[in-house]
Amino acid sequence: MQQSSSAWTRWAPPVTRNLIVINLLIYITSVLLLRRGIDLNELGGLHYFGASNFHFWQLITYQFLHSTASIDHVLSNMFALFMFGSSIEYFWGSKRYLIYYLLCGVSAGLVQELSWYYELQEVMRYDFVQLPSGLIARDAFLGLLNTVGASGAVFGILLASGVLFPNSYVLIGFALPLKMKYFVFLYGVIELYAGIHNTWGQVAHFAHLGGMIGGAILIYLWRKKGVIR
């Protein structure tokens, strides 16, 4: 029994391990409850701040929810968290690592709100919005906007990996080696381009960038205070 417990704790440090388990359990719960007509993504997902269904606590809860349309969303985020988060947790310690993770997620959510605010300037002039399905009241349309996922926090982790371990290598497509500093820079440029040109549909590209921005600010402040190297 002791060997089994030890094997369980070895695959990842505690915060990374618990974050992965919590996200997967919440995903499974979301899928099961949706079959009973209860939509956790609607309740805990991040809504536009001008909508009636927005609540401040959604800046935290949205980070632990993922699209129920496919398991790919949660698995890709958790794989990236495992790959890049473990080494950062060992380097910084669990407490600072968890603070960093959550604040990067909050930063991502705030940037997503700013992105929505900018995009909705034209919409706010009218009482109704034309959708493919027909006219819908503006307030009802605003309530449809919703973002879920740990991607913003994970992008903050990715940024930290590029800062702390710039010359370590990551395999692109499990074949092409690339230094972390170049990988992070390239990924950031791709997300910026995709956000500006609205590429890849419903992906919240500016939220991803928001996680990286929040991470960069935190690292700068902590380094300035001397609390991290």
Q: Which of 127, 146, 139 is nearest to 50 (CA)?
A: 139
pLDDT at 178: 81
226 vs 60, residue with greater confidence: 60
pLDDT at 6: 64
**Percentage of the chain modeled with pLDDT above 70:** 92
Q: What is the largest CA-CA distance in the chain?
A: 64
pLDDT at 200: 44
The CA distance from 65 to 61, in Å, is: 7
Residue 131 — φ and ψ, nearest 5°? -110, 165
**Contact, 40 vs 33, CB < 8 A?**
yes
The CA distance from 118 to 121, in Å, is: 6
**Contact, 16 vs 85, CB < 8 A?**
yes
Predicted confidence band of residue 190 (pLDDT cuts 50, 70, 90): confident
pLDDT above 50: residue 107:
yes
pLDDT at 48: 95
* CATH number for the domain running over 2-225: 1.20.1540.10
Predicted confidence band of residue 211 (pLDDT cuts 50, 70, 90): very high
**Percentage of the chain modeled with pLDDT above 90:** 57
**pTM beyond 0.75, yes or no:** yes
Predicted confidence band of residue 38 (pLDDT cuts 50, 70, 90): very high
Residues in a beta bridge with 137? 128
Buried b (16+ CB within 10 A) or exposed e, 166-179: eeeebeeeeeeeee
Predicted confidence band of residue 197 (pLDDT cuts 50, 70, 90): low
**Contact, 167 vs 181, CB < 8 A?**
yes
Q: Which of 138, 159, 162 is nearest to 211 (CA)?
A: 159
43 vs 187, residue with greater confidence: 43
